Amino acid sequence: MTTKMFGAPIKRREDPRLVTGGGRYLDDLGHTAYEAAFVRSPHAHARIVDIDVTDALETPGLVGIWTHEDLDGPVGENLPLLIPHPALIAPATGFALAKDEVNHVGEAIVLVVAENRYAAEDAVARIRVDYDFLPVVVGLETARTAANLVHDHAPGNISAHLLQEVGDVETAMAGAPHRLSLDLAIERSACMPMEGKGVYARWDTDAEHLTLWSSTQTSTGVRAAVAARLGLPLAKVDCITPDVGGGFGVKIMHPWPEEVLIPWAARLLGHDVKWTEDRREHFISSAHERGQLQEVEVGFDDEGRVLALDVKFWHDNGAYTPYGIIVPIITATQLLGPYKPGAYRVEFWSMFTNTVLVTPYRGAGRPQGCFAMERTMDAIADYLGVDRAEVRSRNFILPEEMPYDHGLMFQDGRPLKYDSGDFPASLAKLKALVGWDDFAPYREQAASEGRRVGLGIGCYVEGTGVGPYEGAHVVIETSGRVNVATGLTTQGQGHQTAFAQIVADELGVPIETVHVTTGDTRRMAYAVGTFASRAAVMSGNAIALAARAAKAKALKIAADALEVSEDDLEIIDGVIGVKGLPEASMPIGTTAVLSNPLRYAFDEAAKAATQFAGTFDPDKPPVADDEEPGLEGKDFYSPTQATFANGMHAAIVETDPVTAEIKILRYCVIHDCGTMINPMIVEGQVHGGVAQGVGGALYERMVYDEFGQLLNASFMDFLIPYASEVPHVEADHLETPSPLNPLGIKGAGEAGCIPVSAVIASAIEDAEGFPITSMPISPGDLWELRQQHDRGELPSLRRTTAESAKEKS
């Protein structure tokens, strides 16, 4: 028997190469290319009066300088709106190079190409731009006042307004025995992949062909966008994704200005051109996420069951909306988590500000939604004096209620309908893992030592594996080598391993013979991309289907050659054999030889296959009417709806009674992504997600001043947690397979980060005894809150008040 690969925690095959410096990232390519740099706006809102490049023309090594006026045809038009939506009433997109006006610090104004990046930056430093300043809008509070506008066509600074309601919230709220309201806030953070963006373009003048490499999460999307902008036939553009040093969402946005401009310049110059984003550019010119203000009103009964949930929130979309309103839509729908409120109304306003644009970042609106819901659950528990886990379980959707339709529309325009999950079982596992019921004595023990500890919890459901489709092409060579191509990209997820595990099992071949190519439009022209925790679900299933097709063909050929029925055949370790008859067999590569009637004996496999060639029928064509030469399988997977993964996290934190420093003592995760292809990879994804979640909860914020200057645009001041700040993650799994796809998979990519801010807030609140309503939180913030609490400006939790009353009596 071939060892079963699917489900095995095998080590990632790509890692030895990646961790020993064998990776080829964007900047490892194109050593002879010219390099680009940009004059980027130092002002958040201004009209461009004049651009003077005279002095820069003297720069040694300069190749060319271009401004918006130089951009011909579609290259100079507004960048596309990728995902329109009827609720997006005042969309806005920028230009590849700013035209007349800039709307955030970092917006590209002038493109400079030089012999190298040093010379390009020298020229940039010598270009003078004159501006007329316009009033700057920074922060949601300022945007809401609408005293000044980011765009004249967007009154109130509102780009989008959407209301969804299920049931009658007003009536349910009025009839609820108890009501609470919460004001919540989440600050901005960003994906911050280790490798920034980058584009390298090569124009072949003779062939009039563009080859483009981009550090992207969608090579097919970039290819189509660039072809359209440059007026090239799709057949004349290839887009290849090299190794990508992380994406986390920011690289699914496309086309970035640079993705249009670099190929454009390469064609114009007839010379390779490359642009590698530096860290400062990444901070001020790519994208951020997360910033929201939320108002929650909840009505509930004596048991803590939610009868009515009414949520309003304001979402900071930055200066432009090229990616539409996916993020706030996800917040609005995924906020519900594992719960079933009696009635639900959610209304949001997506707001323009003069800051860098906002596009999905791992979790994509879910961390904010989860924060709103979980803070609400804790508030209900505290109000009623009921255990926090108990209140959650009373609101759970039960396994027997699956599939559960919330009656809302999800991000993909399809019904928000959960396919699977066993929330009570997940909660039971989490409570056991963290020692939920033993926490009280632990807290008392700690208190007797002068220490403050708190326990927090957070639950979420994550729609994953959204469509519309993904495809795969499996080709078996005569040597037995299996080439697998799928069009979506890889930015560190371990696809070389997980996808190969699927193929190894489906075909019955050793994993060493399976080679996976991703993100190369020459190998798979139709694909969507790697985002929304979709790669394993979408490409994983497409690959399984394609492998099955290739296997069926191999068995058919082998059955003919061995003169047995296909049903009697099996493939073990790459050899097709007759069950129970070990001597009648042939390597799978031999069927590849037989599949092609053009049988030059170039290799041993071809020579060996001649024994099976048999006699041919002169009346039939060499390739039968319903056949193709070659041993291949190609298929697409296109689901009717998303799969819904879920998870529950708990943390124990300690806060220093004097300095308010915050330490995570334990971090526990129960994770359900359905059937796991490789549990080790899933755990790696969870660990990475938790690390980013910890960043969002305790460290990362984008500090803009009132003029729209980002004050911490470097890794010195934007505090991504180091390994030393990330707690050891204790993870356990529950596998409730998705009934929606052949492999039973649900997505796992984003899960880890979703509930972390909610969990840490819950734990700090538990340690401190007063509500935590805004994240992230630093020691300085917590210290400040303690003082507000001491001054009576911040109420105590009811359970704290009750406890101290008990102590006094």
Partner 1 sequence: MKPAPFVHHAPRTLDEAVAVLAEVGHDGKVLAGGQSLIPMLSMRLAAPAHLVDINGVAGLDSLTVDGGYVRVGATVRHRGVERSEEGYAVLPLLRQALLNVAHPAIRNRGTTVGSIAHADAAGEMPSIAVLTDAVIEVRGPQGSREIAAGEFFTGPLETELAADELVTAVRFGRFAPGTRTGFVESARRSGDYAMAGVGVALTAAEGTVTAARASFVSVTDVPDVLDLTPVLAGASAGDIASRSDDLVTAVREHVAPEGDIHATADYRRMLAAELTRRLVAEVMSR
Contact residues for partner 1, defined by CB under 8 A: 117-118, 121-122, 125, 278-280, 658-659, 661, 699, 703, 711-712, 714, 717, 719, 721-722, 724-725, 778-780, 783-784
Which residue, 122 or 374, has its beta carbon nearer to partner 1?
Answer: 122
Strands 569-572 and 514-518: unpaired
Length of the chain: 809
**Residue 343 to residue 408: CA distance in whole angstroms:** 12
Quote the least distance from Cβ 725 to partner 1, whole Å. 5
Give the side-chain half-sphere CA count within 13 A for 495.
28
Q: Which is nearer to partner 1, 145 or 659 (CB)?
A: 659
* CA 508/CA 1 separation, integer angstroms: 9
CB of 656 to partner 1, least distance (A): 9
Shortest approach of partner 1 to residue 79 CB, angstroms? Answer: 25
By C-beta, is 391 or 777 nearer to partner 1?
777
Instruction: Name which of 61 and 74 has its Cβ closer to partner 1.
Output: 61
Whole-angstrom CA distances from 809 to 123, 179, 386, 398 are: 76, 29, 22, 42
- Return the number of the residue (75 or 698) whose C-beta is nearest partner 1: 698
**Least distance from partner 1 to the Cβ atom of residue 484, Å:** 38
CB of 119 to partner 1, least distance (A): 9
What's the closest the beta carbon of residue 723 comes to partner 1, in angstroms?
9
Cβ at position 662, least distance to partner 1 in Å: 11
Q: Please state at what angle helix 366-384 crosses helix 326-334, rounded to 10 degrees.
A: 30
Nearer to partner 1, 188 or 671 (CB): 188
Asked whether 124 and 39 are in contact (CB, 8 A), the reply is: yes
In the chain, DSSP finds a helix count (H) and a strand count (E) of 20, 29
Nearer to partner 1, 209 or 280 (CB): 280
Minimum Å gap between C-beta 786 and partner 1 is 11
Calpha distance 602→600 (Å, rounded) = 6
Specify the residue, 57 or 711, whose C-beta has the smaller distance to partner 1.
711
Retrieve residue 325's tokens: 């309103």
Say how far apart CA 235 and CA 227 lie, in whole Å: 9
Min dist CB 63 to partner 1, Å, is 16
- Cβ-based neighbour number of residue 606 at 10 Å: 19
Judged by beta carbon, residue 405 or residue 717, the one nearer partner 1 is 717
C-beta separation of 182 from 375 below 8 A: yes
Toward partner 1, which CB reaches closer, 571 or 697? 697
Tell me how far apart the alpha carbons of residues 180 and 201 are, in angstroms, rounded to a whole number. Answer: 57
Nearer to partner 1, 661 or 732 (CB): 661
Report, in Å, the least distance between residue 135 CB and partner 1: 24
Q: How far is the CB of 42 from partner 1 (least distance, A)?
A: 13
Task: Identify the helix (H) or strand (E) that includes residue 366.
Answer: helix 366-384
Q: Which of 242, 192, 189 is nearest to 215 (CA)?
A: 242
Q: Which residues contact 332 (CB under 8 A, 6 or more apart)?
A: 162, 164, 311, 313, 346, 348, 369, 408
Report in angstroms how near the CB of residue 157 gets to partner 1 at its nearest: 25
Minimal distance, residue 687 CB to partner 1, in Å: 18
Angle CA 377–379–381, to nearest 5: 70
Instruction: Calculate the alpha carbon distances from 32 to 23, 35, 117, 259, 593 in Å.
Output: 19, 9, 12, 19, 42
β-pair partners for 650: 457, 668
**Closer of 439 and 699 to partner 1 (Cβ):** 699
Q: How far apart are CA 333 and CA 345, in angstroms?
A: 10
Between 276 and 395, CB nearer to partner 1: 276
Task: Give the list of residues 6+ apart from residue 187 with CB closer than 8 angstroms, or none.
Answer: 290, 291, 701, 702, 774, 775, 776
Which among 28, 35, 522, 521 has a CA at the least distance from the CA of 272?
35
